[in-house]
């Protein structure tokens, strides 16, 4: 099934036999009627399960050759359920230091108060993960590529360690999605994805999904979801199903655009750093090639000479790229990570993971890449007071 992801996302949906509608309807019902007290229906109450949510879950699971996913109201709701499923007071979670800001906040500001110890390590070196795993470690949670530095963690190498030490490994796969990175095939036990990003893809519905081939984990996760009330709404699941139909082609097209833009920015004289796993100059390019399936995602980050002052002016001068706290949509989006997504992280944490004040994250969309290159160049030219045309990329665009 996974060899044909584009077909998987388009087919296998129950069409309505009565009126022939090709798009399956939203099952907007809280509850489900049964005939007798001892004959429960497939769905009983929409906090527990719902036909529209189940349709999305079946598809997301099939794409990873796994059981149906468990879908949540947001990515963080999924992470919360994951931690509640696997950890109790006294346990430890070993997490990538360079993770999504909300993941860090969840562990440090919420779970710490319940005596669940979140420990952040540089997961780009698997030995650090091994060193951090203690007797009471019940979850290793890694994010690769890391947000916003794109630093890569070797999933196979970490999985070898967690298997040896019998600790479940979960990969946050939001940035690439199962279309270009399949953590379960690389040895991970669980994936968590914010479907709010690439999977829905149109900035229209929040959601999160947990996928695993381990039924006991899924059963526990569903129990937590039912008990804490964090299931996705039918409407958001339906919206996500519509977005999912174009996920394979969007991810590829947006990744190809990101590659072109990363190469142009790398050549720009006032840009001092570009992080993108598809650049041959990227620190971990070999790992990117072996771990990603042909593409390297739609997110890159860069820094222009001048640090924070430049970053501030640059994001304000952009005309096409929109300044938001979001990635993975069809439009190109920029984020100033240090003050936005990672605004709640301590300075020490930001330094540890190389999130500098000048770093700008770019989530590349479907616009023609020349348009985005030109937009960044015109914004940079407003900052730099040099009269000659510095932008190599402008030549490309014209
Ligand atoms: C956005 C994001 C999350 C959280 O997802 P929400 O749907 O916003 O709750 C988790 N991990 C990563 C990598 C993200 O980008």
Q: Is the CB of 147 under 6 A from ligand 1?
A: yes
79 plus 215 within the same structural domain:
yes
The C-alpha atoms of residue 184 and residue 182 are separated, in whole angstroms, by: 6
On the question of pLDDT at 162 being above 80, the answer is yes
On the question of pLDDT at 184 being above 70, the answer is yes
State the distance from the centre of ligand 1 to the C-alpha of 279, rounded, in angstroms: 25
On the question of pLDDT at 175 being above 80, the answer is yes
Q: Is the CB of 72 under 6 A from ligand 1?
A: no
Dihedral of alpha carbons 297, 298, 299, 301, sign: positive
234 plus 256 within the same structural domain:
no
- 391: domain range? 248-397
Give 89-112 pLDDT, tens digit per residue. Answer: 999 999 999 888 899 999 999 999
Say how far residue 75 (Cα) sits from the centre of its chain.
8
Tell which of 180, 209, 244 closes a domain: 244
For the segment 40-69, the average pLDDT, to the nearest whole number, is 95
Which of 284, 272, 346 minimizes the C-alpha distance to 146?
Answer: 284
Q: Is the CB of 172 under 6 A from ligand 1?
A: yes
What tokens does 140 get?
A: 């290793």
On the question of pLDDT at 393 being above 70, the answer is no
Tell which of 225, 244, 263 closes a domain: 244
Give 112-161 pLDDT, tens digit per residue. Answer: 999 999 999 999 999 999 999 999 999 999 999 998 899 999 999 999 99
On the question of pLDDT at 176 being above 90, the answer is yes
Q: Is the CB of 74 under 6 A from ligand 1?
A: yes
The C-alpha atoms of residue 147 and residue 335 are separated, in whole angstroms, by: 11
Mean pLDDT of the chain: 93
pLDDT at residue number 17: 67
Domains identified in the chain, total number = 2
For the segment 30-39, the average pLDDT, to the nearest whole number, is 90
329 plus 204 within the same structural domain:
no
Which of 71, 161, 146 minimizes the C-alpha distance to 104?
Answer: 146
Burial of 65 (0-12, 13-18, 19+ CB in 10 A): middle
252 plus 153 within the same structural domain:
no
State the distance from the centre of ligand 1 to the C-alpha of 198, rounded, in angstroms: 11
Tell which of 191, 216, 244 closes a domain: 244
User: What CATH number is attached to the domain comprising 362?
Assistant: 3.90.1150.10
The atom number, within ligand 1, closest to the CA of 328 reads 15
Q: Is the CB of 173 under 6 A from ligand 1?
A: no
139 plus 202 within the same structural domain:
yes
User: What CATH number is attached to the domain comprising 214?
Assistant: 3.40.640.10
For the segment 379-386, the average pLDDT, to the nearest whole number, is 76
pTM of the predicted structure, to 2 decimals = 0.93
Which alpha helices (H) appear in the chain, and where do they start and end?
A: 5-10, 51-63, 75-86, 101-105, 126-132, 155-164, 177-180, 215-228, 234-244, 247-266, 285-291, 307-317, 347-352, 369-383, 392-397
Which residue's alpha carbon is nearest to atom 5 within ligand 1?
A: 75
Contacts of 280 (CB under 8 A, 6+ apart): none
């Amino acid at each position: 099934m996974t060899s044909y992801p584009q077909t998987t996302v388009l087919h296998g949906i129950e069409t309505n036999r009565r009126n022939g509608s090709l798009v399956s309807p939203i099952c907007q019902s809280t509850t489900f009627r049964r005939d007798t007290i001892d004959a429960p229906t497939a769905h009983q109450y929409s906090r527990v399960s719902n036909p529209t949510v189940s349709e999305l879950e079946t598809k997301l699971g099939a794409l990873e050759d796994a059981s149906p996913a468990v879908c949540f109201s947001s990515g963080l709701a999924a992470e919360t359920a994951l931690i509640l499923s696997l950890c109790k007071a006294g346990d430890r979670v070993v997490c990538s230091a360079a993770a999504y800001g909300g993941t860090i906040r969840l562990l440090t500001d919420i779970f710490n108060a319940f005596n669940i110890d979140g420990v952040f390590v540089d997961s780009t070196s698997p030995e650090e993960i091994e060193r951090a795993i203690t007797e009471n470690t019940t979850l290793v949670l890694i994010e690769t590529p890391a947000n916003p530095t794109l630093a890569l963690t070797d999933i196979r190498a970490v999985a070898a360690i967690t298997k040896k030490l019998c600790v479940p490994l979960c990969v946050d796969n939001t940035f690439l999605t199962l279309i270009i990175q399949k953590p379960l095939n690389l040895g991970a036990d669980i994936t968590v994805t914010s479907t709010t990003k690439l999977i829905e893809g149109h900035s229209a519905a929040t959601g999160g999904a947990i996928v695993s081939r381990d039924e006991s984990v899924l059963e526990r996760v569903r129990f937590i979801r039912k008990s804490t009330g964090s299931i996705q709404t039918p409407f958001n699941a339906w919206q996500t199903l519509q977005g999912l139909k174009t996920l394979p082609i969007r991810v590829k097209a947006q990744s190809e655009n990101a590659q072109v833009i990363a190469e142009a920015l790398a050549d720009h004289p006032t840009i001092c750093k570009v992080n993108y796993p598809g650049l041959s100059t990227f620190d971990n390019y070999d790992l990117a090639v072996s771990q990603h399936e042909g593409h390297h995602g739609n997110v890159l980050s860069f820094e222009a000479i001048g640090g924070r002052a430049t970053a501030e002016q640059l994001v304000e001068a952009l005309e096409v790229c929109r300044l938001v706290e979001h990635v993975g949509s069809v439009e190109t989006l920029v984020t100033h990570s240090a003050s936005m997504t990672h605004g709640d992280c301590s300075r020490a944490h930001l330094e540890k993971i190389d999130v500098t004040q000048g770093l700008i994250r770019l989530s590349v969309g479907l616009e023609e890449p020349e348009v985005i290159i030109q937009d960044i160049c015109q914004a940079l030219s407003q900052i730099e007071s040099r009269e000659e045309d510095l932008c190599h990329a402008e030549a490309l665009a014209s």
